[in-house]
Each structure stands twice: as structure tokens, then as C-alpha cells.
Amino acid sequence: MPANSQNVILFDGVCHLCNGFVRFVIRRDPAGVFAFAPLQSDFARRRLGTLHLDSIVLLEGDRAFYAETAVLRICARLSQPLPMLARIASLIPLPVLAWTYRTVARYRYRIFGRDEVCALPLPEWKGRFLS
């Protein structure tokens, strides 16, 4: 397991929006702070057990952050201006952020599409993906 696996982003591996978010993070994480694993992976099943999730999960060591909280924590650790935008977004009341996140999550397959199986990472990203 890579050294950076203490900070793992779990994502819906068949969701086009989620895969786009992973590419977005990789491009803005030059230090390689984050590793990645699809929610459909054995790694995610070992970490989450029978908990069924359909949103972004951020694992930081033994702690787990879900949905909008995970996205804010991820963005706070990426290149500028994302940390500043995450701080501004954190001023929005949590119920509003949660509602917005859940609304997008509910319709993400209809709007952005999905695949039948998880996409394979590009060869240059292989060391950052856990299975």
C-alpha cells in the first residue's frame, strides 16, 4: 500500500461525475497527498464493511468523512485557489451544502452518465489507486 494511503478518496467507480472529480483532484494534487479506490473495490469493502454508500468518502487514517464534508476537506488540501474556495464554502450552512450535494448525487447518473464497470486508471496514475 502506498505511503499516501492514509488519505484515501473512495468514489463511485462507475459514475462519470465521480471519475471526473478524481481526475480533477489528481491534476491539483501534485504532491500526491491522496490515493484513490472505487467504492466497488475490495479495499473499500474492507474499510467500510457492509455500509453501502453512493457518495465520496475521504479516509484520513482511522477517520472517515462523507459527501459534502469530504469534498470540502479534499479541496482544502489541493492547489490554490481551492483551499480558499473551500473555506468560503464552509461558511454556507451545512444543511444547504448537504441538500445541494444530495440533489446532485441523486441525479448524477442521469445528468453525467455511468459505465457498467469501473474505469481503469491511466498508467501514470496506477501507483495512486488501491484495489
Give the Cα separation of 110 and 89 in Å (integer): 26
- Range 3-128 has CATH code 1.20.58: no
Give the dihedral sign, CA 70/73/75/79: negative
- What's the average model confidence in pLDDT over 78-99? 95
Grid coordinates given for 32 = 500526491
Domain residue ranges in the chain: 3-128
In the chain the beta strands, taken as DSSP E runs, fall at 7-11, 35-38, 57-60, 63-66
- What's the average model confidence in pLDDT over 78-101? 95
- What's the average model confidence in pLDDT over 57-83? 94
User: pLDDT tens digits, residue range 111-127?
Assistant: 999 888 777 777 778 78
Helix, strand, coil content of the chain in percent (nearest 5): 50, 15, 35
User: pLDDT tens digits, residue range 17-33?
Assistant: 999 999 999 999 988 99
Per-residue model confidence (pLDDT) at position 4:
47
Mean pLDDT score of the chain: 89
